[in-house]
Amino acid sequence: MPSSPSPAPGRPTAAARRIHTPALSEQPAALAAGWLTCSYLLAQRGAIDMGIAAPCKKTLRELLDGLCDADALGLLERDNRCDLEGHVLYLVTERIRVGRLPGPLLAAGVDPDLLEELAATAGLTDVVFVPRTAECLATYLARHPDSAAIVLREESGDASAATRENEAAARWYDERYDEIAHGLLRSTSRPQYLGGDLSPRRCRYCGRTDPETSFRDKAHAFPEQIGNKALIDRRECDACNRHFARMVEDDYAKWTLPMRATGRVTGKGLPSFKSRDHQMRIDARGPRNLAIRLGEKDPRHRLDEETRTVTLQLERQPYVPMGVFKCLVKMALAVMPEPEAGECDHLKRWILAPAHTFESYPYRPLRLLEQFLPGPMPNDQFQYALLRRRPGHADCPYLIFVLQFSNVLHQIVLPMHDQDRALIEQGHCEVPFFPHIGGTAGHVQAYGRSQARVRDLSGTAAVSGEQQSLSFRYAQRIDQPPPPAPAPA
């Protein structure tokens, strides 16, 4: 009996949009292009569910090898569905159907007649057809001459270089690190409680227990501003929760506001960005639309109409750099298991300090590796990883924390003066930028290379007037007259 995904409110009920690639017999990369297109459509439509249509189960592994990891493929073969990077994939064949599929369908190598049956599945938003032969493509186009074509270009040198860099970084981390904590949570995820039902409850940060302190408030392990509704820390007391909100999360909120506003990240609501002179405003209109209001000659934007790209210069609200870094340290501590957590008492004392000073912990520089990933990325989820150095590797830091939400990826080295003493005395350590899906050749060709930079967050004084440059593509430019001047009093 086939299982069906739940209906999604607001999905189009009209006929699914048709898209096709070249034939697999002529361009083997066609399937990867179709897969990437479906990933884009998922993000564009805010969909969760996606269908994979294959001639039969036996051909599934041959078709998807290299696109899905082995575990996901195994689940798809066994259960006809699997969870992958926050989405749900459903297998569809001549014998296996779903009653409703509110998302795109990637039809790989299926017969055009079978494709017509599958395209009638309720809820489908898009059908991406990857024909096996040129004859199959000709039959399909005779029926659907208006189908949009995906044109494959020879891989550019820039895309090829980005792929090599991404793969080299993945090998570097695989050789040196074990993943001791990781997670991917969506805005719709069920609550996950860190710390369980320990009694008496002891705060993981200050060490106090009930009744020395209270645990009445809901303590978010990660800030709610990045979309965290589900990861709750039962071992964070009310006093520490209030301290973190005031001393570290506020700085992180101000520092990330331009990225969250343009990325339409829903925290305690959809974020808005307003310039100090009130001449620029950015509003998220739901998870997929962004409204930018500014004057045509405003120097804070650059418009490239040929590529439909806009670059904005956004001014951050005043923030303390060390507070931003401490916020990421606090997130790492929240998900850190034992015995590593017991090695980080110095970091707990540091993030609980009543002021940001070098004297509280003389470790510098506090570097953040930041990447901005172009193109559509899910903005209703975040993911994290905490990495610990494997024995026998002395050329890398002991603990690394990585966080991604929307198009932003942040990574830090946790300050561990004992475990990293040799590296500190050496005075130099190169850590690659963390690998990600935006570093693949197909993504680079479609949306450009990721923007990567190293930021020094050692400062203890508030920074004002700092500019954040962000570039992204737009669907439509709408010229409107300026608002009328206010009536004289």
Parse the chain into domains and list their residue ranges: 17-149, 172-473
DSSP string covering 219-278 = -BSS-GGGT-SSEEETT--HHHHHHHIIIIIHHHHHHHHHHHHHHT--SSS--EEE-TTS
345-373: buried (b, 16+ CB within 10 Å) or exposed (e) per residue? eebbebbbeeebeeebbebeebbbbbbbb
- The pLDDT, as a whole number, for residue 416 is 95
pLDDT-based confidence at residue 488 (cuts at 50, 70, 90): low
Q: What does pTM read for this prediction?
A: 0.69
**Across the chain, what does the average pLDDT equal?**
82
- The pLDDT, as a whole number, for residue 61 is 77
pLDDT at 418 exceeding the cut of 70 = yes
Cβ within 8 Å of residue 66, ≥6 positions away:
32
Instruction: Please give the average per-residue pLDDT across 295-299, as a whole number.
Output: 61
CA angle 361, 365, 370 (to 5 degrees): 120
| Range in 1-5, 265-269, 336-340 with the lowest mean pLDDT | 1-5
- The pLDDT, as a whole number, for residue 12 is 37
Residues forming beta bridges with residue 472, ordered by sequence position: 310
- The pLDDT, as a whole number, for residue 373 is 83
For residue range 406-417, list pLDDT tens digits in order: 889 999 999 999
pLDDT at 261 exceeding the cut of 70 = yes
- The pLDDT, as a whole number, for residue 283 is 65
- The pLDDT, as a whole number, for residue 386 is 98
Domain 17-149, classified CATH 3.30.70, yes or no: no
Strands 49-53 and 104-108: parallel
| Range in 148-162, 196-210, 381-395, 433-447 with the lowest mean pLDDT | 148-162
Residues forming beta bridges with residue 106, ordered by sequence position: 52, 128
Contact between 260 and 269 (Cβ < 8 Å): no
For residue range 215-248, list pLDDT tens digits in order: 999 999 999 999 899 999 999 999 999 999 999 9
Instruction: Please give the average per-residue pLDDT across 34-58, as a whole number.
Output: 81
pLDDT at 338 exceeding the cut of 70 = yes
- The pLDDT, as a whole number, for residue 42 is 78
- The pLDDT, as a whole number, for residue 446 is 66
DSSP string covering 435-457 = P-GGGSHHHHHHH-PPEEEEEE-
pLDDT at 288 exceeding the cut of 60 = no
| Range in 37-41, 87-91, 186-190, 382-386 with the lowest mean pLDDT | 37-41
- The pLDDT, as a whole number, for residue 9 is 37
Instruction: Please give the average per-residue pLDDT across 300-310, as a whole number.
Output: 70
- The pLDDT, as a whole number, for residue 13 is 42
- The pLDDT, as a whole number, for residue 487 is 55
Distances in whole angstroms, Cα of residue 321 to Cα of each of 281, 328, 359, 428, 461: 25, 11, 16, 22, 8
pLDDT-based confidence at residue 468 (cuts at 50, 70, 90): confident
Share of the chain above pLDDT 70, in %: 77
- The pLDDT, as a whole number, for residue 382 is 92
- The pLDDT, as a whole number, for residue 214 is 94
Share of the chain above pLDDT 90, in %: 42
